[in-house]
Amino acid sequence: MTNTQSLSLKKSALSKELITEAFIKRFETELTNLGASRIKVEMVKTRTQRGHVYHQIILKGSFKDVSTSEILSDGEFRIVSLVAFLADAEGTDSRATFVFDDPISSLDQDFEEATVSRLIEMCNTRQVVVFTHRLSMLSLLQEFAKKHSIDPHVVCLQCEPWGIGEPADTPWFAIKPQKALNLMLSEQLPRARNALEESGQQGYEWPAKSIYLDFRILLERVIENDLLADIVQRFRRDITTKGKIQKLALINEKDCQFFDEMMSKYSVYLHSQPNEAPVKYPPPDELQEDMESLKSWFEEFKKRDSAG
C-alpha cells in the first residue's frame, strides 16, 4: 500500500495532460516573447520518479545526445534559462516578487530589448526588482515602463568605506529633468551657499564644481527629453516619432539661443583653465538665476505644448 510505483505511474499519466503540455506551451510562448524562437530548443519530460516530474531542455531535431551548453552561446544559454524560469513561474498562482541580477548580461541588442519588455510586462502582476550596472538597461527599463504608464523606482547602490551596496542619491541621468532641477535649487544650491559663507572661496569650490557639472548634464537631458521631445535618446536604438515629432515645431529661435548660451557657459568649467587667466566659478546668486531661467523655460514651453 505504501509502494510509490503506482503513485508515480498515476502522476506520470496526469502530468502529461495537466503539467507537461501546459509547461511546454508556456515555454514556447516565452521563447517567442523574448525573441528567442529562432533558437532550436524544446522542453520535454524525461521521467517521473517518486511522485516528482522532471523536464529537460534539449536541442530540437538533434540525432545525438548533445548538451545545450555545448552548442548554445553564453547569450543563448542565458536567454533559454530565463525562458524556462518564466515558463515555470508563470505556471503558479504565486505573485511573489521577482529579483533579477543583470538579466541581460551576454545578450545582444534584440534579446536585451525583448527581455526588458517582458520584465516590464510582468510588473502589471507582481513587483519586479532588477539589479544592473549597465546604463543602457536602465534607459531601456525607463523607456518601456513609460510605454506601460509605470513609474519605476530607481535606487543607486555604491561602495562606501563602511560597506558595499549602500543606498545613495539617485544619479541625475535617472531623474526626470524638472525634478532634478528642483532638487538642485532646494538641496545642492543651499549647501554650496553655506560652504561659501562658512569657508570662503576655497570651501565653495568643490560643491560649486559639482553643481556646475550636474547642471551641464541636466541641460543636455532637457534638450534631449523636452526640447527635442524624446525622439532620440542615447542608449536607445529606435527613433520614436509617434505623437512627438510635431512638438519640434514648437521650437523657436529664442529656445535655440537660450540653450546655446547656457551650454557654452557651462562647458567652460569642464576644461582646464590657463594659470594666467583662471575662470572663477559663478557665485550662488548667478547659479540660482540660471536655474530659475531654466525653470521658467520649462513652464513657458509646457504652456506652448498645451496650447498646440
Among 43-52, 143-152, 296-305, the least confident range = 43-52
- Average model confidence (pLDDT) across the chain: 85
Confidence of residue 118 (pLDDT cuts 50, 70, 90): very high
In whole angstroms, what is the distance from residue 219 CA to residue 223 CA? 6
Q: Which residues, 6+ apart, have CB-to-CB distance to 9 below 8 Å?
A: 48
Residue 202 has a pLDDT of 87
pLDDT reported for residue 100: 92
Mean pLDDT, residues 32-39 taken together: 88
Which helix (DSSP H) or strand (DSSP E) does residue 109 occupy? helix 109-122
Residue 133: the pLDDT is 84
* pLDDT at res. 268: 81
Give the pLDDT confidence score for residue 235 in this predicted structure.
72
**pTM, to two decimals:** 0.64
From residue 207, alpha-carbon distances to 168, 195, 278 in Å are: 17, 8, 18
The 3-class SS string of 236-274 reads CCCCCCCCCHHHHHHCCHHHHHHHHHHHHHHHHHHCCCC
CA angle at 183 for the pair 181 and 184, rounded to the nearest 5°: 65
Q: How far apart are CA 85 and CA 26, in angstroms?
A: 10
The distance of Cα 230 from the centroid of its chain, to the nearest Å, equals 16
- Residue 44 — very low, low, confident or very high, per pLDDT cuts 50/70/90? confident
146-197 pLDDT tens trace:
888 998 888 888 888 888 888 887 776 677 888 889 999 999 999 999 999 9
pLDDT value at position 273? 65
Better-scored residue on pLDDT, 270 or 197: 197
Q: Compare 46 and 145 and report the one with higher pLDDT.
A: 145
Cα(first)–Cα(last) distance of the chain, in Å?
79
pLDDT digits (tens, 9 = 90+) for 206-260: 899 889 888 998 999 999 989 998 888 877 777 888 888 998 999 999 999 999 9
Looking at residues 115-124, what average pLDDT do you find? 91
